[in-house]
Amino acid sequence: MSAPLIDCPGRLGGSDLAGKSVLSAPGRQGLPPNGRSAIAPRANRIRSVVRHGAGRNGMREVGSSLSAGLVAALVAGAASAQSLPPDPIFCTPSSYEHDAVRAAPDQHRVLFEDSHVRVLEIYLPPLAVEPVHIHALPSVIHGDTGGALGARFAYIQYVMEDGRFKEVSRSEVIPTPGVRTVWSPPEGPHAIANIGPVPVRFLRTEIKPESCSR
């Protein structure tokens, strides 16, 4: 299949919800007056989720029923030893060097960002492999697995050891065909390899803490 797997809405922007097209760096807009300390409780909760492994129980279905394969392909749980950065900047996630947009820019395109959300288009042509990256924010992920001749993934998980990423697991997944939408907890270091015959494209809406919009 040569066509995109889902219809990409293009670059959003304008004045809706006080948002803006992220053609320039968002900077630190939306940070509360006291800076990082206002989001420390949420940082601790998210680090705890990733350290102990979110697993499939950390997700709930949105809309139609999910196959275990799709869940594993799009939002596999983090390995128990994984962790997020010690002090992630949730209002400006790209400020962290291993954030998806900074570490894997060819696969993660920012469609829209404001103080509430960041919307990413994620695209992998056949045989492409993402660089290792994280998603520090919980997200809603929407994608189409491409039908009977659709997507096949290898989901690769890593831990940081001595300043370098070390692969700890690799699982091949053939999802059930169809359009699916799922909730994902934060993800520790990982990469997805497209080992199928069709390109993979889906949207990820990352949810920022309420403190970012105050």
Domains identified in the chain and CATH numbers: 32-213 (2.60.120.10)
Q: What angle do CA 110, 115, 117 make, to 5 degrees?
A: 50
Instruction: Tell me what the mean pLDDT of segment 106-131 comes to.
Output: 96
pLDDT at 154 over 50: yes
pLDDT at site 10: 30
Q: Partners of 3 in the beta sheet?
A: none
Are β-strands 139-144 and 179-184 bridged in parallel, bridged antiparallel, or unpaired? Answer: antiparallel
pTM of the prediction? Answer: 0.62
Say which DSSP state 76 is in.
P
Who wins on pLDDT, 8 or 68? Answer: 68
Confidence of residue 148 (pLDDT cuts 50, 70, 90): low
Q: What's phi and psi for 167, nearest 5 deg?
A: -70, 135
Taking alpha carbons only, the member of 137, 69, 73 closest to residue 99 is 137
In 3D, which of 152, 143, 192 has the Cα closest to residue 170? Answer: 192
Q: What is the reported pLDDT for 212?
A: 85
Best CA proximity match to 207, nearest among 141, 144, 143: 141
Residue 201 confidence (pLDDT) above 50: yes
- Which has more pLDDT, 127 or 211? 127
Q: What distance in Å separates the CA atoms of residue 140 and residue 142, rounded to the nearest whole number?
A: 7
Mean of pLDDT values over 63-88: 43
pLDDT at 94 over 80: yes
What is the band of 178 on the pLDDT scale with cuts at 50, 70, 90? confident
